[in-house]
Chain A
Amino acid sequence: SSEVTQDPVVSVALGQTVTITCHGDILTFSYASWYLQKPGQAPVLVLYGYNNRPSGIPDRFSGSYSGNTASLTITGAQAEDEAVYYCQSRDFRATHLVFGGGTKLTVL
């Protein structure tokens, strides 16, 4: 399958650590990228490649992989991290980009 799946909802207490996961067979050979989207705004890239952050993204965001799962970890979640997080990768033949369904992160 060329799909990637995410848990729809995750919550975290302010200042605690949270991990958002993305599952799919294509992740065994292709990296995931992660985007956050706040209401009424365009998505923003937060992680790409093995564990790379674009300029301006805080270092509390980190990534990891295990088998067919990619993970985004926020260490010390802040109120401004509340958003929908999407993972994205490519299919086996690199002819399609694939997005997960998104995870709505609530910071309590």
Chain B
Amino acid sequence: EIQLLQSGGGFVQPGKSLRLSCVTSGFDFHASAMNWVRQAPGQGLEWVAGISVTGAKTLYADSVKGRFIISRDNSEDTLYLQMNSLGAEDTALYYCVKDGYNLGDFLDHWGQGVLVTVSS
């Protein structure tokens, strides 16, 4: 069974940083592209970032580029999202998502989501 266990969410002040983690199991993590997708309260889905199987290629939404960093540790089957200079607009439920094939093809398994709240 594929599992994506997320952690690291919480309450943070504007301008601060937070790192999300996603520990995976049940599939070949080193052979899977991965993504982060977020959902603001009561809103739709917004893709945040994606990373290739080796980590050599990373993609970012314009709204987070330069502030967020996606990375992976294939030896630990873990995906990360380092979020810096957080603002209220970053308040959302963040999902760790496995790619079905190549980066961005389709998103076939989703984590349970972790809530990030940015507020003073």
Query: What residues make up the interface of A, taking CB atoms closer than 8 Å to B?
Result: 31, 33, 35, 37, 42-45, 48-49, 54, 84, 86, 88, 90, 94-102
Contact = CB atoms under 8 A, between A and B. Distances in A.
B107 interface: yes
Contact of B45 (A44, A48, A90, A102): A102
19 contacts: A37-B45, A42-B113, A43-B45, A43-B107, A43-B110, A45-B100, A45-B108, A48-B105, A48-B108, A49-B106, A84-B44, A86-B45, A88-B47, A88-B107, A97-B47, A97-B104, A98-B47, A99-B44, A99-B47
Given A48-B100, A96-B59, A35 B44 contact: no
Contacts of A31: 106
Contacts of A37: 45
B109 to A, nearest CB: 8
B87 interface: no
Contacts of B112: 42
Interface of B: 35, 37, 44-47, 50, 59, 61-62, 95, 100, 104-113
Nearest to B93: A42
A100 B43 CA distance: 11
A86 B106 contact: no
* In the A-B complex, the 3 residue pairs with the closest CB atoms: A48-B106, A97-B47, A33-B106
